[in-house]
Amino acid sequence: MAKKPLPKAELDKICKQLRRDIMTMLVKAGSGHAGGSLGSVEIIATLYWNIMNFDPANPRWDERDYFILSKGHVCPAQYAVLGNLGFFPKDELWTLRKLGSILQGHPHWLKTPGLEASTGSLGQGLSIANGIAMALKRDGKPNRVFCLMGDGEQDEGQIWEAGMTAAHYKLDNVCGIVDRNYLQIDGNTEDVMGLDTLSDKWRAFNWNVIECDGHDVDALTDAYNQAIATKGKPTIIIARTTKGKGVSFIENQVDWHGKAPNQEQYEKAMAELAD
């Protein structure tokens, strides 16, 4: 069932709140991944608020759509979304990475309501998405599967094996998203292992390719709807983003890939993220 999209101003406001929650989670944990978490907020939020079907009171609802966070280290962004939507009490967010917490440093689907897979070993998420999508097709179900990958993650050979598989089996119920911020843990993606032109690579693998601004919730909504409307082949959305989006001293800084703010940095970030 198609959802009515939120007005852009409303969803943008939600995204700012999610960024505040991410920074609070990280400063309380004293560790985590700030850059990618902040940068992927609109990609994930637009899916949950404007596109996917789900029930926070029944996370295993048979008619739900599936989201696989292949770049599992940015789970604070998904946790913030799940907490704000009521999959679990929002106060659980402040237990990130604590011993016994339901919110581990990488997604653990047996602990966290709303997760579909345990991820973090890069390259595996699209294969998981394919398996779910194939089962749904075999059962004649209309549910869809969305998988968020990093651009550095495109270095992994398993991504391209999964790309061939999805195209071969015409998995038009799969939508991959690449968080294209041009930074990975070791530096600029084009210095580590050149990817461009990434769109041409995916087209060569017989995927429908859509490129958009990964911080524009309207553009993302349109891209997701185009993916849903595409039949006979899977879709990949290459979403151009800024790593660390919303916090000036984190934006485009590779050193913030796996770093949490100290108290002074946290207060500065929260001032920038204030309404």
| 236/211 Cα distance (integer angstroms) | 8
Q: Are 122 and 150 in contact (CB under 8 A)?
A: yes
Asked if 254 contacts 183 with a C-beta cutoff of 8 angstroms, the reply is yes
Residue 246, CA distances (Å) to 33, 37, 148, 208, 260 in order:
15, 11, 20, 30, 15
Instruction: Report the distance separating Cα 88 and Cα 247, nearest Å.
Output: 27
Query: Residue 163 and residue 130: Cα distance in Å, rounded?
Result: 9
User: Residue ranges of the domains in the chain?
Assistant: 8-272
Cβ pair 175, 133 in contact under 8 A: no
Those residues whose C-beta lies under 8 Å from the C-beta of residue 262, and which sit 6 or more positions away, are 27
State the residue for tokens 């604070």.
Answer: 76
Instruction: Provide the sign of the torsion angle of the four alpha carbons 211, 213, 215, 221, taken in this order.
Output: negative
pLDDT digit string, tens, across residues 102-118: 999 999 999 999 999 99
Q: What is the pLDDT of residues 172-205, one digit of tens each?
A: 999 999 999 999 999 999 999 999 999 999 999 9
The pLDDT of residue 3 = 85
Mean pLDDT of the chain: 97
Q: Angle CA(127)–CA(43)–CA(123) in degrees, nearest 5?
A: 25
pLDDT digits (tens, 9 = 90+) for 217-239: 999 999 999 999 999 999 999 99
**For residue 164, pLDDT beyond 80:** yes
CA distance 229 to 249: 39
C-alpha Rg value of the chain to the nearest Å: 17
3-state secondary structure of 264: helix
Q: What is the pLDDT of residue 105?
A: 97
pLDDT at 275 over 90: no
pLDDT (tens digit per residue) in 15-41: 999 999 999 999 999 999 999 999 999
Beta bridge partners of 180: 240
% residues pLDDT > 90 (the chain): 99
Percent residues over pLDDT 70 in the chain: 100
Query: What is the fold of 8-272?
Result: Rossmann fold (3.40.50)
* 234-250: pLDDT as tens digits: 999 999 999 999 999 99
Residue 178: burial class (beta carbons within 10 Å; 0-12, 13-18, 19+): buried
Yes or no: say if 235 and 175 are a contact pair by the CB < 8 Å rule.
Answer: yes
> What pTM, to 2 d.p., does this model score?
0.98
The pLDDT value given to residue 1: 61
